Amino acid sequence: MKDCVDLIGKELVYEAWDTKMADETLDYGNRLWEVADKIANNNNLQYLKTQREPPDTGEDTIEWKLHIVYSLAKWLIFYGKNGHGYEADF
């Protein structure tokens, strides 16, 4: 996520390092998804919503970073909807 600061901003990136209860996890995932959608729509990258494998681009590209954000958002939404939070462990 640290590599995505230039894409989604420090606030959303650094929030990943905060332990969250299930409702907070779901909220964070939804906010990440919303930001990713705006970026995807503005850059014609909507296909990344459903792409499971990383794009065939360099790690410093918008495609690569957006894929990371979508992937994290999907997991957070899944876990949050199923009553799970997470404990930041670093």
Query: How many structural domains is the chain composed of?
Result: 1
pLDDT one-digit tens code per residue, 22-77: 999 999 999 999 999 999 999 999 999 999 999 999 999 999 999 999 999 999 99
Q: Is residue 33 part of a domain?
A: yes
47 domain-assigned: yes
Count CB atoms within 10 A of the CB of residue 51: 14
The answer, yes or no, to whether residue 9 has pLDDT greater than 90, is yes
Concatenating the DSSP letter of every residue in 33-52 gives HHHHHHHHHHTT-GGGGT--
Residue 87 lies in a domain: no
Domain residue limits at 29? 2-81
